[in-house]
Structure 1
Amino acid sequence: MNRLAKAARAWTIAGLENDFIFSKVMTDPAICLTIIQNILPDLAITRITPPLTQQTITPTNDAKGVRFDIATTDDHDNRYDIEMQVADHHNLAQRVRYYQAMNALDVYDKGANYHDANNSYVIFICCFDPFRLGAQFYSANKHLNEFPGYRVLDGATDIYLNASSHRHEVPAKLQTLLDQVAHRDSGQDDEFGVKLRQRIATVKHNKEWRADFMRLSLAEMDHEYELKEAKKQGQDQALVQLAAGLINQGQSADQVQDFLTSVMMVSPAQAREYYQQALRG
C-alpha cells in the first residue's frame, strides 16, 4: 500500500479517538461546553470562548513547546486544555505538569497579583487507564504531605478520563463521549449522543479537513521514515566501527564476517559491505 493509500485509509477509519477528528469535533462550542460541564459540574459554567484547536505555545526559542488539542476559557475566566491521548508512553503525569505550566504562561502579567491568576484545568481523555487503578475518572490537586487532607489552592487541577473502563461512574453525557472514543455501543440514543455522531459525520465529509489530515499524515510518514533512516545509519556506522576494531585485532576477513553474521545477525551481503567499508575506513 503506497503512502497516499495509507493516508486515505487512515482518514476512513479515524474516529473520535484520533486527535485531528477530536479537535475538529470539539471546535463546536456546544459540544465542548457540554463536555466541560459534565467533567466539572460544580463549576456551574454557562459559556465558553470559541474553542481554539492545535494552539501552539513555545515559551522560548530553545524550550520545548506544546500544541494544545483544544484550548478555551469559561465565563469565570477558568482556563481549559483538553487533550486526546491514545498511546500510553508512561510519562503522562510529567506531561500534564508541563501543560499546566504552558496553560498558565501568560496569566502572570508583570506587576499583577499572583492571586489574580486564572484557574487552570488540564484534561486528558485517555484510551487506557493512566494509573491502572480501575477508575473511569481521576482528578489531582496538590496537598500537603504532612496534612493529606489540606488542599493547596494553587488553581491547578489535573483530570484524567479512562475511556477503556467499562464502569459507568461518570454522568451520562460523559459516558456517551467515552463510549464513542472506545468504539462501544453505549446504548444511549440521547440528544448529546446524536449530536456527537452528527458532528463526527460533518467533520469526515469536510473536503478541506480531509486534505489537511492527508497532508499531516504524509508529513508524519516522512518524519517516521527519516527517523528510521537515521537509526539505520547509526546502526550501520556502529557495525562498520565494530568490523574495523576486529580488523585491528588481527582477525581475517572470514573471521570478521562470520562474527557479523553469527553474532550481530546481519546477512552475509551486509557483513561483506561492512567489512569493505571498514577497510576503506
Structure 2
Amino acid sequence: MTSRITISNNFMFGRVLCREDICRGFLERVLGTEVGSISYLNREQVLQPAAASRGVRLDVYAETALGVIDVEMQANPHADLGRRLRYYQASIDSGLLDQGSSWRDLRDSYIIFACDFDWPGAGLPVYTFDRLCRENPALAAQTGSTWVVLNARAAAAAPNEGLRNLLEYIQRGSVAPDDKLVSAMDAAVSTANEDREWVASVMTVRDLLEEARADAIAEGLAEGRAEGIAEGREEGLAEGRAEGRAEGRAEGRAEGRAEGVARMAALAAKLAEDGRAEDVLSVMADPVAVENLLREYRL
C-alpha cells in the first residue's frame, strides 16, 4: 500500500494552499493580521530574474491586499536558508516594478518558510526578520519586506492556540478537533491522496530524488576517501566530486552510462534543493531541456 503523502511534502503543501480559503486562513494565522482580498494565487510559480540567471520555483505565491506573499515548505534542513531567502526576495522584487515606476509603487512582500526543523537554533516557534540598524536596532530600514520562518518543532511554545495547532499539524499531522483551518487542510490532504495518478507522480519524484541523494553521497564519499579528503559527508561529497571530475578529465575517463546517471543524480538533487523537483519528471523525455538544466547548474 502506498504511504500517505503529508502536508510537509512541498507538492502536497502547494496543492492544499492553493485553495483560497485555506491559503487565507494559513496566512492570517501566521502573520497575525487580515490579508484582505486575494487577487492572484498560484503554486509552482516560476521566477527567473534574467535569462542566464538561476531561476526559482515558489511553492505558493499570492497577491493580496496586504502585499505579495511567498510560502515555502521546508522539510529538510539547509544551512543556506538565509541566502535562499535573500535570493527569493530579489527574484520576487525584480518582477514587481514596471520600467519607469516609482519606488513607492514597490508592494510590500512577505516570504514565509514553514520548516520542520529549527534553522536559527534558538528554540522559537516563529522567527520574524526585518532589516534593522546594527548600531541602533530600534531603527528599521522600512523596506516593506518581511521574512517569517516557522519552526514546527517548537509548536508547544507557540504564542496562541491557533498557531500551535498549525505547527503541530505540520510537524506530526495531528488535527485539533475544533480547529476549522487544520481540519480543512487535513481534508484537502486526504482528497489529494485519493488522486492516485497524482500520488504516483509525486512518489516517483520522491524515489528518484532519494536514489539520487544516496548515489551522490556514496560517490562523494568513495572518491573523497580515495583522495584522502573525506572529512564527513558534506565535505566528502563536495571535494570528492571535484577531485573526481578533475581526475576524470585528466585521464580521459569515458563519458558513458555511469557518468550520465551521476549527472542526472546531481541534477535531481539540485532541482530538489531549489524546489523544482517536478522538473525532474517533466524534462526526462526532452534531451534539450535536460542539457539546458545541466548547463544552468554547471554539471
Please report the TM-score for the alignment, with normalisation by the length of structure 1.
0.72
Q: Distance in 2 between matches of 1:47 and 1:173?
A: 21
Aligned residue among 184, 189, 209 for 1:195: 184
1:32 aligns with 2:27: no
Larger radius of gyration: 1
CA deviation map 1:191-222 (0-9, x unaligned): 22321211110111113422331342354356
Q: Distance in 1 between matches of 2:175 and 2:40?
A: 28
Q: Is the 8 A contact 2:124 2:157 kept in 1?
A: no
Q: 5+ unaligned residues in a row in structure 1: which ranges?
A: 1-7, 243-277
Aligned residue among 126, 140, 147 for 1:151: 140
Q: 5+ unaligned residues in a row in structure 2: which ranges?
A: 229-250, 252-299
SS state of the match for residue 142, structure 1? Answer: coil
Aligned residue among 54, 57, 67 for 2:47: 57
Q: Is the 8 A contact 2:26 2:181 kept in 1?
A: no
Aligned residue among 212, 220, 236 for 2:201: 212
Q: Distance in 2 between matches of 1:229 and 1:132?
A: 29
Please tell me the residue identity of whatever aligns with 1:57.
L
Identical aligned residues as a percent: 24
Aligned residue among 88, 93, 99 for 1:99: 88
Please tell me the residue identity of whatever aligns with 1:207.
R
Question: In 2 relative to 1, CA 133–112 (structure 1 residues): closer, same or farther, beyond 3 Å?
Answer: same
Which moved further from structure 2: 142-151 or 217-226? 217-226
2:36 alignment counterpart: 46
* Superposition deviation, residue 75 in structure 1: 2.3
Question: In 2 relative to 1, CA 101–205 (structure 1 residues): closer, same or farther, beyond 3 Å?
Answer: same
The alignment of Structure 1 onto Structure 2 pairs a total of residues equal to: 229
Q: Distance in 1 between matches of 2:43 and 2:88?
A: 15
2:58 alignment counterpart: 68
1:264 alignment counterpart: none
Q: Distance in 2 between matches of 1:170 and 1:209?
A: 36
1:112 aligns with 2:101: yes
- Give the alignment of 1:101-250 within 5 angstroms: 101-183=90-172, 185=174, 187-221=176-210, 223-224=212-213, 227=216, 231=220, 235=223
Q: Distance in 2 between matches of 1:186 and 1:194?
A: 6
Q: Distance in 2 between matches of 1:114 and 1:166?
A: 38
Q: Is the 8 A contact 1:35 1:174 kept in 2?
A: no
* Superposition deviation, residue 18 in structure 1: 1.0
RMSD in angstroms over aligned alpha carbons? 2.7
* Superposition deviation, residue 182 in structure 1: 0.9
Q: Distance in 1 between matches of 2:212 and 2:58?
A: 20
1:269 alignment counterpart: none
Q: Distance in 2 between matches of 1:152 and 1:68?
A: 26
